[in-house]
Chain A
Amino acid sequence: MKIDYIFYLLIFPGLLFISILGFLIGWVDRKISARFQFRVGPPLFQNFNDFFKLLGKETILVKEGVITIFIIAPFIAFAMIVLVSSLIGISLFYSISFGGDLIVVMYLLMINSVMIILGGSSTGNVYSSLGAGREIKLLLADELAFILICLVPIIKSGFQLQLDGIVSSQLQNGSYIGSLSGFIAFVVGLLCIQAKMALPPFHIPEAETEIVEGPFMEYSGTLLAFWKLNGFMLYVTFPFLLILLFWGGINPEGPGIIWFILKYLLIVLLIIVIKNTNPRIRIDTALNFFWKYASVIAFLAVVLAVFGY
C-alpha cells in the first residue's frame, strides 16, 4: 500500500507524469503562440533543453537579502505543486479518496503564489519586490472569485468536499458544466486560472517589458530551472482541477480517457487563445475586473447553484 503511494507521488500521476506533460504542453503553448504571430516556433524538445541547460548553469546567490528563503522558495513551491497534482490526479485516475478535501487543495494551490511573493521579496532587488507586491495584489484579486467558484460543485454535489465524491456525483447526475451555474463558474474559473498562472493578460507580476520578470529576476541556474518547471506543471494542475470540478472527470466506461484528453486540450487551447489575444492590463484594472465583475458573477453562480439551476 505504501509502495502504491510512492508510485502515485513520484511517477503517475505525480512528479514524472506532470513534469513531462507540463513540458510538452508548454511547447504546445509556445508553438501556438508563435503561429498566432506568423512565426515558426521552437522545436518539440525546447523546454527540456531549457530546463537541463538551466540545471547546469552557475547559480548566483544574492549578496543582500534572505538567502535561506531565496533558496527554499522554488523547492517548496515545487513540492506543493507535485503534491496537489498527485492529489487531483489520484482522484481523477484512480478514484481514491486521500483524506484531504477540496479546501486542502485550495490552500495548497495558494502556496505557489505565496512562495513567489517570498522568493521575490527575499532578494533585496527593487524590481523583484515590485513584482512580489504585484503578485500579492493579484492573489487578493483572484482568490475570492476562485473560492466562490469552488463552492459551486460542493453545493451541487450535496455538500461533498471530497474530490472523488464530486467526481462520482457528476458521473451519476451529469457534468455540472451542463447546468447554468456550472457553466458560469467554469468560465470564471478559466479566468482565475489565467491569473493564478500569471499568464497574459494577467502577467502583471512578471511583466517582462517593465519590471523584467519581476520576482524571478535575480534567480539563475538551478533555482530558475525549478521556477520554470513550476510554471509548466501548473499547465497540468489547473486544467485537471477544472475538469474534475466541472466537467465530470474521467468516465470509466467507454472511451472516457479519450474524452478526458480532448477536454484537457480544449481547456489548454482556450487558455492559450486568451493569452495571445489580450494585452497586459494594469493592476487596478485587474482588481476592478475580479472584484467588480468576476466575483459578482461567481457569487451569482453560487446563488443559482443553491436554487438548483
Chain B
Amino acid sequence: MGWYNKRLSKSIWVFHVSASPCNNCDIEILDLLTPKYDVERFGIKLVGSVRHADVLLVSGVANNKVAPKVKYLYDQAPKPCFVVGVGTCPASGCCFKKSYNVTGKVEETIPINLYIPGCPPKPEAMIEGVVKLVEVLNG
C-alpha cells in the first residue's frame, strides 16, 4: 500500500462541503487556488463532484438541518476518503455552539481526520495541515 499512498498523497482532489458556515473559511479556502499560494503545485485540485473527491473540506458547525446531508455526502464519496475540518467551527462550534439548532459536533456525524483551527485559518495554516495529512499518508 505504500506505493499507492504515495500516489494518493501527490494527487489530492478536494471537495468543499459547506456545512452551514459563515462563509469566511470558504473565502480563505478559495485563496489557496490563487497565484500567491497555488496548491496545484502539490497536485491539489478543487473538484465539483463528490464522486471525484479524496478529501472533504468541511467548514461550519453542521446544524441539525445540514448534518444529515453532510453524512450523505460522506457516504457518497469513494473511499479512501479523508475529512478535514477547516476553521474553529467543526472543532469546537466557535460562537455558534449554543445556537438552538446546533446539538452535536461534526465529528459525531462523520469521522474527521484532521482539524485546522482558526477563525478563519490562514491559507498558510491550511497548507501546513494538508502537508501533515500527506506526511501521515507517506507513513
Residues of A within 8 A of B (CB): 30, 34, 37-43, 45-46, 49-50, 52-53, 56-60, 208-209, 212-213, 216-221, 224
Q: How many angstroms between the C-alpha atoms of A219 and B53 in the bound complex? A: 11
The stretch among B4-12, B19-27, B91-99, B127-135 that forms the contact with chain A is: B4-12
**Beyond A60-B51, A218-B51, 10 additional pairs, beta carbon < 8 A:** A37-B35, A39-B35, A39-B40, A40-B38, A41-B38, A41-B40, A53-B10, A56-B4, A220-B51, A220-B52
Given contacts A213-B49, A217-B51, A218-B51, contact A49 B41 (CB under 8 A): no
Establish whether residues B7 and A56, one from each chain, have CB atoms under 8 Å apart when the complex forms.
Answer: yes
Establish whether residues B35 and A38, one from each chain, have CB atoms under 8 Å apart when the complex forms.
Answer: yes
B65 CB-CB contact with A under 8 Å: no
Given contacts A39-B40, A60-B76, A60-B78, contact A46 B11 (CB under 8 A): yes
Establish whether residues A49 and B7, one from each chain, have CB atoms under 8 Å apart when the complex forms.
Answer: yes
Residues of chain A within 8 A of B38, CB atoms compared: 34, 39-41
A213 contact from B4, B48, B80, Cβ within 8 A: B48
Most A C-beta atoms less than 10 A away, residue of B7, B38, B80: B7
B111 CB-CB contact with A under 8 Å: no
Establish whether residues B79 and A58, one from each chain, have CB atoms under 8 Å apart when the complex forms.
Answer: yes
15 CB contacts below 8 A, A to B, read A37-B35, A41-B41, A42-B41, A42-B43, A49-B7, A50-B43, A52-B4, A53-B4, A53-B8, A59-B78, A209-B48, A212-B49, A219-B51, A220-B52, A224-B52
Q: How many angstroms between the C-alpha atoms of A217 and B48 in the bound complex? A: 8
Does more than half of chain A's interface fall in helix, strand or loop, or is it mixed?
loop
Residues of B within 8 A of A (CB): 4, 7-8, 10-11, 13, 35, 38, 40-41, 43, 47-49, 51-52, 54, 76, 78-80
A224 contact from B8, B43, B51, B79, Cβ within 8 A: B51
Residues of chain A within 8 A of B40, CB atoms compared: 30, 34, 39-42
Q: How many angstroms between the C-alpha atoms of A262 and B115 in the bound complex? A: 49
Establish whether residues A43 and B78, one from each chain, have CB atoms under 8 Å apart when the complex forms.
Answer: no
Least CB distance from A250 to B in Å reads 35
Establish whether residues A49 and B10, one from each chain, have CB atoms under 8 Å apart when the complex forms.
Answer: yes
- Which 8 A-B pairs give the minimum distances between C-beta atoms? A212-B48, A58-B78, A220-B51, A49-B11, A39-B38, A220-B78, A49-B10, A38-B35
Q: How many angstroms between the C-alpha atoms of A219 and B37 in the bound complex? A: 30
Given contacts A37-B35, A41-B41, A59-B78, contact A53 B11 (CB under 8 A): yes
Chain A: which residue is nearest B44 at the CB level? A42
Q: How many angstroms between the C-alpha atoms of A41 and B35 in the bound complex? A: 9
Residues of chain B within 8 A of A41, CB atoms compared: 38, 40-41
Most A C-beta atoms less than 10 A away, residue of B7, B13, B51: B51
Q: How many angstroms between the C-alpha atoms of A60 and B78 in the bound complex? A: 7
Least CB distance from A211 to B in Å reads 9
Chain B: which residue is nearest A31 at the CB level? B40
Q: How many angstroms between the C-alpha atoms of A45 and B10 in the bound complex? A: 9
Q: How many angstroms between the C-alpha atoms of A203 and B35 in the bound complex? A: 23
A57 contact from B10, B35, B76, B80, Cβ within 8 A: B80
Chain A: which residue is nearest B34 at the CB level? A39
Q: How many angstroms between the C-alpha atoms of A220 and B51 in the bound complex? A: 5
Residues of chain B within 8 A of A58, CB atoms compared: 78-80
Residues of chain B within 8 A of A60, CB atoms compared: 51, 76, 78
Residues of chain A within 8 A of B78, CB atoms compared: 57-60, 220-221
Least CB distance from A223 to B in Å reads 10
Residues of chain A within 8 A of B49, CB atoms compared: 212-213, 216-218
Establish whether residues B54 and A53, one from each chain, have CB atoms under 8 Å apart when the complex forms.
Answer: yes
Residues of chain B within 8 A of A42, CB atoms compared: 40-41, 43
Q: How many angstroms between the C-alpha atoms of A209 and B7 in the bound complex? A: 27
Q: How many angstroms between the C-alpha atoms of A59 and B13 in the bound complex? A: 16
Least CB distance from B39 to A in Å reads 10
Least CB distance from A278 to B in Å reads 20
